[in-house]
Amino acid sequence: MENTKWALVTGASGGVGKEIAGIMAQKKWNLVLVARSADKLNELASELSQKNGVQIKGCPCDLSKDNAAHEIFDFCESQNIKIDLLINNAGAGLYGASIELGDKALGMLKLNMLALTQMCTVFGKDMAERKSGSILNIGSIAGNQPTPMFASYAASKSYVLNYSIALRHELGAYGVNVTCVQPGYIRTQFDNNCGIVSEKYKKFSYKNGMSAYAVAKVAVKSVFRKRSYVRAGVTNKITAFVSGLIPKNFLAWCISKSMKTLTK
């Protein structure tokens, strides 16, 4: 029987978001795909629709805009679409000394925290009124510890984790589930996009990273099982457990030393 449910995926034009969209389409979910590039969205929508026989709508939007979530919600309303699963995958990273990055960090923080919060608020309210739905937020293992040279990024992902857990308890009373998935290194363009030039670091990242598909598979499984939060990958589970036992000042010192070794 045809699935009449709709999922919305942000950051759907590449990486983990694109892989999540592919998995959801295979599961016969209809999709609203959100990203900045209309061309990439249209190409992906056409490909997944033809391959899986589902309805797919592209919604080009820059999530860093103040009213982006409301624009996306209005688009869904105009198409008579009710979102049953919201997947907040869009995000950005930024590498470098905080005092050197200056205002560059503001755009990243706005996307990673404010845009995600607004999406959860707007769509979560609609789900609560219908007493049905799920939200999947993609965080990062970096959100579990202070990370020099990724200070703002790691802090923003700490927000994603704690916000998601708190929101889960707020919306649970309305029958709405919230799940946060924390991947570690992923074999995408993340390193290049956030400004890392060290080949040594990139090799380390690739060697220890998961594929975007593997992360997407864990993420989808986790939200369907209505988990609270999940660390993707065995290595990341161990890392998160061990880092939780280490005093934060000492942990930050260790990470700082490691970063210097990998990027010099």
The neighbouring-strand residues paired with 186 are: 210
Compute, in degrees rounded to 10, the torsion defined by CA atoms 58, 228, 153, 188: -50
* Active-site pick, 18, 110, 157, 185: 157
Sequence-ordered list of residues with C-beta below 8 angstroms from that of 215, at least 6 positions apart, any chain = 16, 19, 181, 183, 186, 232
Distance in Å from the first CA to the final CA of the chain? 57
Q: Whose structure tokens read 């309305």?
A: 174
* Active-site pick, 18, 95, 153, 163: 153
Instruction: Report the interhelical angle of 212-224 vs 15-26 (nearest 10°).
Output: 50
Q: Whose structure tokens read 């707020």?
A: 170
Within 10 angstroms of residue 26's Cβ, the number of other Cβ atoms is 13
What tokens does 110 get?
Answer: 């706005």
Give CA 18 to chain center in angstroms. Answer: 11
Annotation marks residue 153 as catalytic: yes
Sequence-ordered list of residues with C-beta below 8 angstroms from that of 20, at least 6 positions apart, any chain = 9, 12, 87, 89, 216, 219, 220
d(CA 229, CA 30): 25
Q: For CA atoms 98, 102, 108, 113, give the dihedral sign.
A: positive
Q: Enumerate the active-site residues.
A: 153, 157
